Amino acid sequence: MVTTISQANESNQSPEPKITLEEFLKLPETKPASEYIDGRIYQNPCQMGNIALCKVS
């Protein structure tokens, strides 16, 4: 499941404004990693199980 920053702030009921790629690249890195897709920031969940083990190996 991918959570957007907008979904985390649903109580505000105002849509998160889109940002430019340049603005996204200026932001600090997050853990878990965030992705920039179509002007919105999406935060990936932590990988668990075999996939995480493959990435470490």
- Write the single-letter amino acid at 22: E
Residue 10 clears pLDDT 80, i.e. is over it? no
For the chain, the domains span: 3-56
As given in the structure block, the two tokens for residue 24 are 């996204």
pLDDT digits (tens, 9 = 90+) for 20-56: 999 999 999 998 899 999 999 998 886 665 555 555 5
1 CB-near residues (< 8 Å, 6+ apart):
45
Phi and psi torsions of 26, nearest 5°: -80, -15
